[in-house]
Amino acid sequence: MLGALTRVSAKVSAKEAASERNHPMAKGYWIARVDVHDEDAYGKYRDANAAAFGKYGARFVVRGGNFETMEGTSRARNVVIEFDNYETAVECYRSPEYQHAMQFRSGGASEGDLIIIEGYDAP
């Protein structure tokens, strides 16, 4: 009996997997919160990161703007960047182009928090 249950379970899993392939992949996002301490150095970082963002098709969804902290803590700047999918968002971060840009942030130019997260794409 257990073997029959395993086969049925495998069929359902394969069907679910096939169904998932028919849906577009969920977007990937960078969510960053940043405090800038050296505007000149941060400006160089911003100029340099354009190469990576262009190469990986990044699109700014949020770039600064007014905000209100309703819970928890915040930083002075908030950024949300959209990519075609999660894998592309991670590849961009790890790319030589972005790693080069990050050099301009080191040494105290800024401090921040960055997560890369997969979007929600449900029917």
Axis-axis angle for helices 39-55, 86-94 (nearest 10)? 130
* Model confidence pLDDT, tens digit, residues 66-91: 999 999 999 999 999 999 999 999 99
The yes-or-no verdict on residue 117 having pLDDT over 70 is yes
Q: Is the pLDDT of residue 26 over 70?
A: yes
Verdict on whether the full-model pTM lies above 0.75: yes
The tokens 């050296």 sit on which residue?
A: 38
The Cα–Cα gap between 104 and 57 comes to 22
Name the one residue in this structure whose structure tokens are 């970082």: 45
Round to whole Å and give the CA distance between 68 and 77.
11
Structure confidence at residue 41 (pLDDT): 95
| Architecture field, domain 26-118 | 2-Layer Sandwich (3.30)
Q: What is the mean pLDDT of the segment spanning 3-28?
A: 52
Residue type at 47?
D
Give the contacts of 19 (CB within 8 A, at least 6 positions apart). Answer: none
